[in-house]
Amino acid sequence: MSDLISRHLVNVRFSEVDSLHIVWHGHYVKYFEDGREQFGREFGLGYLDVFKEGYKTPIIDVSCQYKRPAAYGDSVIVETRFVNSPAAKIIFDFQVFNAETKHLLATGRTTQVFLDKNDELFMVLPEFFKAWKRKWGLEANE
């Protein structure tokens, strides 16, 4: 099984730059969100897919390391990689590249957990998530 990776192109908007004319650091978290949504569309693990199964997946941890700035008018590629884990979590690693120069701009990670319909933390892999992992060769068939 190869890694599950999605790539998404984002055009830097004027509203995303700060007084230094570079992308304000907080917007990279939005780019990670764009990447997660694209990944969900490509691999059938979107927020609505999870919600239909009776779960919510709030983010409990986010990290971002900045390497180079992006500026207004740039296009960036958000590469989203699923990190397989035995824990009842959804973990993604991100790399943000300048689409033209291919320079690495930022890296990051998000961790999400499963809450059931009563907002209780679900401590084991939900059955639908096990099935999703099997579909993509991330978990052995039982």
Domains and CATH numbers, the chain: 5-129 (3.10.129.10)
DSSP codes joined into one string, 10-77: EEPPGGGB-TTSBB-TTHHHHHHHHHHHHHHHHHT--HHHHHHTT-B--EEEEEEEE-S--BTT-EEE
How many C-alpha atoms does 113 have within 13 Å on its Cβ side?
10
Joined tokens for residue 136: 């993509």
pTM as predicted: 0.94
Paired strand residues for 81: 5, 93
Walk along the chain (142 residues) in steps of 10 and give the mean pLDDT of each run. 89 96 96 98 96 96 98 97 96 98 98 96 96 91 58
